[in-house]
Amino acid sequence: MSGAAVRLGRLLNKESRRSFMVAFDRTLAMGPEPYAEDSGATITAIAANGADAILLSPGLVKQHGHLLAYRNAPAIVCRIDFPFLGPADRGTGEAFRLIASVEEAAALGADAVVMFHTLGYREKGPWADNLASIGKVAQEARRVGLPLIVEAVPWGAEAEDPREPRLVAEAARIAAELGADAVKTEYVGSIDDMRMVVDSCPVPVFVLGGPRVGVPELLRYTADSLEAGASGVIYGRNVWQREDCAAVSAALAGVVHGPRGDA
């Protein structure tokens, strides 16, 4: 078994073999959003409320890694890229850049790294850069022994529906074939369609949360995703951007791991 496979397994609960991860990397692109102004306090709260892993930017790993430096703390997943997606008529357009290396993430204490595969770029040059970067990072990750999670999403300008099942399946499959150890992607709206996405992807699939929704809806599509075969969830705003963060975390952990998932 490779080092990456061992570390990927450590992101999963021993009993359920699933993972409840919390993404706290949105502020890398959006700045100090509500409930995230004090980054250390937010990370401490996430860690106290049952997350198996926390997704962080390199800077937050550097600044706050000591908050997770104890036995049975949540694992650290480090975001190592930054996609620039916006309307071309505003001068932003589409681009992609790596912001850290796998070696740097490992040196900071990360247990895994994450990067985007964005499907639907209007201009194919940025997509080519994105694909080449995934291939290069996959090689680097194998050498270092860290798992690579690819956030495979049809979020480019040409993709009209980011939850269209065929496009989501395509994005996920390409990421896996480029060398991803696991994929993070959209919930596509139904159990049958999500099962198609999972079944067509040869690596574990984790579902992202996206914009904040009501708790009943969140729990429902979490359960549906798991029934479809997903290996867990990686939710951000739907966990930490709430007054009742602890209660929502407990409810999600219960859905993901079930009654015996606390071992």
Any domain includes 184: yes
pLDDT, tens digit, 9 for 90 and up, residues 12-59: 999 999 999 999 999 998 899 999 999 999 999 999 999 999 999 999
Segment holding 257, helix H or strand E: helix 245-257
Any domain includes 263: no
Asked whether residue 236 carries a pLDDT value surpassing 70, the answer given is yes
Any domain includes 196: yes
What pLDDT, on the 0 to 100 scale, is given for residue 202? Answer: 98
Band of pLDDT at residue 260, cut at 50, 70 and 90:
low
Any domain includes 212: yes
Any domain includes 174: yes
Any domain includes 262: no
What pLDDT, on the 0 to 100 scale, is given for residue 86? Answer: 55
Cβ pair 234, 227 in contact under 8 A: no
Two tokens, residue 197? 């996405």
How large is the average pLDDT for residues 181-186? 98
- CATH code assigned at 26: 3.20.20.70
Two tokens, residue 124? 């194919």
Band of pLDDT at residue 208, cut at 50, 70 and 90:
very high
Q: Which structural domain, as residue segments, surrounds residue 122? A: 3-257
Structural domains in the chain (count): 1
Q: CA-based Rg of the chain, rounded to a whole angstrom?
A: 17
Asked whether residue 64 carries a pLDDT value surpassing 90, the answer given is yes
Answer with the residue of higher pLDDT: 88 or 79. Answer: 79
Q: Is 234 helix (H, G, I), strand (E, B) or coil?
A: strand
Any domain includes 231: yes
Any domain includes 63: yes
What pLDDT, on the 0 to 100 scale, is given for residue 121? Answer: 87
